[in-house]
Structure 1
Amino acid sequence: MFLAGADPVRYRMGEAEPVKTERHDVQARQHHTNTGVRPVRTYREHPHGLLVARDFVAHPRIRHWQAHLLPRLGVVVCRYDFHGSREHDYYIDVATITRAGDLWTVRDHYLDLLVHEGLTAEIVDTDELLAAHAAGYIGTPELHHAVATAHRVLAGLARARYSVEGWLGAEGVRVEWLPVTEYATA
């Protein structure tokens, strides 16, 4: 059985990636990713989570990035400033987000939602989730939780007519986005 967005050929080939775990060290103003440590210009804690804003240095497609880590919803809601034309308005990562003091940890659950504000949203990377599960990188309970979260978010977005602000408001969450000039250094 394959879920929407899955690439059956890739899944059968067993191309699996280990779970991506990122850390945000608010005190040190550092974003630890699987490709290195990046300086963060802005961290702002709010009642629903943490706002992160930083440059993407030497990235071929992306200039700047903002994200809200929302532990209760199990998502990271991202906005990108692209070098070229906009590819999507929001990118939502399904994840488990934990906090220990000034250290926030994001365990990615592979599934993502691309949101074209006011138009549509789609779940992507189902093939990655299935391949990771087959390889043992993610257990069955976590797989089920990821699928349930992605579909809950997609249903909420549909009810809000694909408005991220409307969906978050229905969940009792209000976030603010920074103007790029407030966090961009390049």
Structure 2
Amino acid sequence: MRRGSHASVHPVSATPHPVKTEIFDVATKTNIDPKGFARAVDEYRVEEWGLYMARSSDHPQFHYLESWLLPDLRLRASIFHFTPGNERDQDRYVDVGEFRREGDVWYSHDHYLDLIVRTGRDTTVEDIDELVVAVTAGMIDAAAAETAIDTALRAVDGIAAHGHDLDAWLRERGAPVSWR
């Protein structure tokens, strides 16, 4: 595993912030982002094992977002379609958190840790500093932080065992994701 951009021997430098929450309303085809903005969704696809979302974005670094919420795995897998000049050396971006469904509405609670997957090359864990600061500031409890760490390590292990191919690992876990 290569060292991520946030992984270092330097002191923790993250500013504490609350758990980021999103709402995915399949019936109204909207996504309420962590800042509270309602975003129109082009496509929702509900499977027994997860929810797919595809939508445009007005973010300066990416113009389109595809995501799979995978509640049983405690993961959200995404592909960011970057704008010219903002490309990143990543194939999949994975958030660790809590994801649940209540009827047509799904909820996402991001537990700080992220995985960057470069298919066939490596998988890194990012934002460990954010998790440490959040625990220290009381924004997430120790049990949830431990679950996030366990989830991230289990996912890195599985992805690495499949040649750093997230989609292959998810297929084996019963979540055969597909993308646009």
TM-score scaled by structure 1?
Answer: 0.88
2:45 is matched with 44
Counterpart CA distance in 2 for 1:98 and 1:33 is 16
The answer on 1:20 being equivalent to 2:23 is no
Secondary structure of the residue aligned to 1:107 is strand
Deviations 1:56-81 (A, max 9, x none): 12x21101010010001000000111
1:181 is matched with none
2:78 is matched with 78
Deviation at 1:34, TM superposition (A): 2.2
The answer on 1:8 being equivalent to 2:17 is no
1:182 is matched with none
Matches within 5 A, 1:1-186: 5=7, 8-10=11-13, 15-35=15-35, 36-57=37-58, 59-84=59-84, 85-178=87-180
1:183 is matched with none
Paired residues in the alignment total 171
Higher mean Cα deviation, 81-90 or 15-24? 81-90
Q: Report runs of 4+ in structure 1 exceeding 3 Å deviation.
A: none
Deviations 1:143-175 (A, max 9, x none): 000000000000001100101122112212211
Equivalent position amino acid for 2:135 in 1: H
Deviation at 1:33, TM superposition (A): 1.5
Sequence identity percentage: 35
Deviation at 1:87, TM superposition (A): 3.2
Q: Can you give the 5+ residue segments of structure 2 that lack an aligned partner in the other structure?
A: 1-5
Secondary structure of the residue aligned to 2:13 is helix
Secondary structure of the residue aligned to 2:109 is strand
TM-score scaled by structure 2?
Answer: 0.90
Counterpart CA distance in 2 for 1:92 and 1:68 is 9
Secondary structure of the residue aligned to 2:72 is coil
Equivalent position amino acid for 2:39 in 1: R
- Checking the alignment, whether the CA contact within 8 Å between 2:66 and 2:80 is kept in structure 1 is yes
- Checking the alignment, whether the CA contact within 8 Å between 2:12 and 2:133 is kept in structure 1 is no
Counterpart CA distance in 1 for 2:12 and 2:121 is 29
Counterpart CA distance in 1 for 2:42 and 2:148 is 30
Q: RMSD over aligned Cα, in angstroms? A: 1.4
Counterpart CA distance in 2 for 1:175 and 1:113 is 17
